[in-house]
Amino acid sequence: MLGADDPLDPLPRRVLVAGTSGVGKTTTAARIGSVLGVDHTEIDSLLHGPDWEPRPSFVADVERFTRAAGWVTEWQYGTVRMLLAERADTLVWIDLPTVVGLWRLLRRTVRRRIGRVELWNGNTEPSLWMFFTDPGHILRWGFRTRHAVRRLVPELALTAPHLRVVHLRSQPEIDRFVQHLDGRRG
């Protein structure tokens, strides 16, 4: 696996960003897309239809955008994980300490709920009280799945040898990695 300061030659063109809920996958993916000059497709926007129902066109939408020469998205959802991995050239693994990821997830969820931020297709974060009643609440989900990516990425590295895996363990490493990409592009 590569680190934040390892050179990537050639520059990535099809990038996945992996990590647990709340670590900053979408923010980092958007930053990478911007510095590489490729589209960032937020995968949550393709999955979640109105009332949080999965969109029937999800897999077809993922198949369509991953045919492009360049793109960046988050590596999520079992139904498309392998398709994404097959078509990507680089996977950026954000592996922050568990407490950092959970704290960020809590802050983000509360901010979105209080601000009634519209996420995808008219959806907003549900009431914070649902944390106590809904086993699928994002905070419970984040806690329950906090170690899943730490199993999935090393397995993927073995089964997808074409994929360069960049392992980032802190916000300064994330920032340096993106800066290096921007410097190399320029």
Q: Give the mean model confidence (pLDDT) for residues 164-172.
A: 97
Residue found by looking up tokens 């950026």 in the block: 92
Average pLDDT over residues 42-60: 95
Mean pLDDT of all residues in 46-70: 96
Report d(CA 54, CA 9) in Å as an integer. Answer: 37
Q: What is the mean pLDDT of residues 143-158?
A: 91
Mean of the per-residue pLDDT values for the chain?
A: 93
Percent share of the chain, pLDDT over 70: 99
How far apart are the C-alpha atoms of 154 and 157, rounded to whole Å?
5
Pair 151, 18: CB distance under 8 Å: no
Closest by CA position to 28, among listed 173, 184, 139: 173
pLDDT reported for residue 93: 97
State yes or no: pLDDT of 129 exceeds 90.
no
Q: Enumerate domains of the chain plus CATH numbers.
A: 14-97+147-185 (3.40.50.300)
Whether the pLDDT of residue 125 is over 70: the answer is yes
pLDDT at residue 154 tops 70 = yes
Model confidence band, residue 185 (pLDDT cutoffs 50, 70, 90): low
Query: Is the pLDDT assigned to residue 140 strictly greater than 90?
Result: no
Alpha-helical segments (H) within the chain: 25-36, 43-47, 58-65, 78-87, 98-114, 138-144, 148-159, 171-185
- d(CA 37, CA 122) in angstroms, rounded, equals 28
For residue 12, the one-letter residue type is: P
